[in-house]
Amino acid sequence: MRAIRVESPGGPEALTLREVPTPSPGPGQVLVRVEAAGVNFIDVYQRTGRYALPLPFTPGLEGAGVVEAVGPGVEEFSPGARVGWAQGQGSYAEQVVLPAERCVPLPDGVSAEQAAAVFLQGMTAHFLSHSTYPIQRGDTVLVHAGAGGVGLLLIQMAVRRGARVLTTVSTEEKAALARGAGAHEVILYTTQDFVAETRRLTGGEGVHCVYDSVGKTTFSGSLDCLRMRGMLVLYGGSSGPVPPVDPMVLNAKGSLFLTRPTLFHYVADRASLLQRAGDVLTWVQRRELDVRIGRTYPLVDAAQAHRDLEGRVSTGKLLLRIR
């Protein structure tokens, strides 16, 4: 089978297409024919070595496809079942072996592309808005990178929960997308000071929560956007890692809260996984959650997908189309 391999950490050119042996499922595992794989910043972090993995490896945690074979002890799935996943290392490939307990059945009416586009980022938006900082009706929140894959979904979920949503984007095109997702106020950070605008738009009070996936270049400003006892949810670092922080800064700025969550701790057990994925997939099935697929690439063009993601020239979700 064909798979993308990383033999040494590096830039997008480190992603190379190779012929590798087709894996076989062991106990508790399923072999899935991958139809579409999601492209995410965690894939970039693994490729560059920021999140180190044993070499060589096949990147990709997220995808959707069809079960081809099951290993001993698997009873929930059988060949032909349509499944999606967000914790399936090796998804940039024609076939992947996955733990059955990490797979979720896909409902009718949700395509493989939609599932691969919404699993990781949709469940991320879900835990951010429902659990890490559970948005209450009447809250005001700031979402950075509002036209990105998580950003567009997070805006929609925050609006569903009754929040007033402010967001930052870089261009007028992205501003239109964010407004289309339901954002009440859009700040062009390339021409506007997002801290000053956030303060102005909240009458000087600041927001209840900032959802920040950008990291290094926005972190300090994000703290300054919060009202007293507000929460900064740092869930990514597309501009680089945040330098060490003196906790006394949180005190000085209003007894603020700071957290750095990850999806995998919010779907650690199967019940949590099925509940979060079930909510997201049901909303997609009912067309209550719009999933924007920015661009789809053939497997051989995985490097270009990474360039577009890192260059922040994309909007919505980027996918690799395997079949």
Identify whether 185 is part of a domain. Answer: yes
**In the chain, how many domains are there?**
2
pTM for the full predicted model: 0.91
Q: Which residues pair with 45 in a beta bridge?
A: none
Identify whether 302 is part of a domain. Answer: yes
Identify whether 130 is part of a domain. Answer: no
| Beta strands per DSSP E along 191-264 | 207-212, 226-234, 257-259
pLDDT tens, residue by residue, 148-203: 889 999 999 999 999 999 999 999 999 999 999 999 999 999 999 999 999 999 99
Whether residue 7 is found in the same domain as residue 37: yes
Give CA–CA dist 157/139, Å, rounded: 13
Using CA atoms, how far residue 224 sits from 128, 187, 204, 234, in Å, is 20, 15, 11, 14
Whether residue 272 is found in the same domain as residue 256: no
Tell me what pLDDT residue 58 has. 98
Mean pLDDT, residues 86-96: 96
- For 291, the 3-state DSSP assignment is coil
- The tokens 């924007």 sit on which residue? 292
* Residue 78 belongs to domain spanning: 2-119+267-321
pLDDT tens, residue by residue, 37-73: 999 989 999 999 989 999 999 999 999 999 999 999 9
Whether residue 237 is found in the same domain as residue 307: no
Phi and psi based region of residue 239 (left: phi greater than 0; alpha: psi -120 to 50; beta: remaining): alpha
Identify whether 128 is part of a domain. Answer: no
Whether residue 142 is found in the same domain as residue 254: yes
Domain final residue pick, 238, 260, 282: 260
Helices (H), the chain: 41-48, 112-127, 149-160, 172-180, 194-201, 219-224, 248-252, 263-266, 270-285, 302-310
Identify whether 225 is part of a domain. Answer: yes
- Assign 107 a pLDDT band (cuts: 50, 70, 90): very high
Whether residue 88 is found in the same domain as residue 169: no
Query: Which domain CATH number covers 106?
Result: 3.90.180.10
Domain final residue pick, 237, 260, 283: 260
Tell me what pLDDT residue 186 has. 98
Whether residue 234 is found in the same domain as residue 178: yes
